[in-house]
Amino acid sequence: TEGQPSTRTVLLKDLHNGKVIFYTNYESRKGRHLANNPHVSLSFIWHQLERQVHIEGIAAKVPAHESDEYFKNRPYKSRIGARISPQSQPIKSRMQLIRNFVKEAAQWIGKEVERPGGYAVTPTRIEFWQGRPNRLHDRFLYTLQKDGTWKVTRLAP
């Protein structure tokens, strides 16, 4: 639905040149959403440390050669699974998924398995939160300026 937020879990795979990297199927629900609106919001939380980091930014596809390099390092079965999964789409049964896996695996014997893709998020806003007693938490907001520098602002808890 247009304008409706959609939360999904992604696995942070790298921080490269100031960008947050994750991989997914471009045809997945999140891939389709990113094709229509590249603005993203990421959250990381460490409950035991009472810390959070929130990042807002713009997602763009990772260059093909970087996606290829990452994908080649994944375990073989994981690569096959990534190829056959119609990620986020309805499926008839787990058995059908297993049949598709076996059929796909047979096609790639002795060959490099082709991959889906990845995204690099360029942060424009980063907030760091540190929990403190009596709710007197520390919050710092970093906002990317037009000249490429970051403005740092302390926020009330």
Question: Which residue in 32, 132, 135, 139 is the catalytic one?
Answer: 135
Q: 90: Cβ–Cβ under 8 A, 6 or more apart, which residues? A: none
Per the annotation, the verdict on 154 as an active-site residue is no
Tokens read off for 157:
């808890």
Cα gap 125→138, rounded to integer Å: 17
Cα gap 40→127, rounded to integer Å: 14
Tokens read off for 124:
């424009």
Long-range own/partner contacts, residues 149-156 (CB < 8 A, 24 or more apart): 150/126, 155/127
Where does residue 4 fall: left (phi above 0), alpha (psi -120 to 50 degrees), or beta otherwise? beta
Tell me which residues are annotated as active site.
135
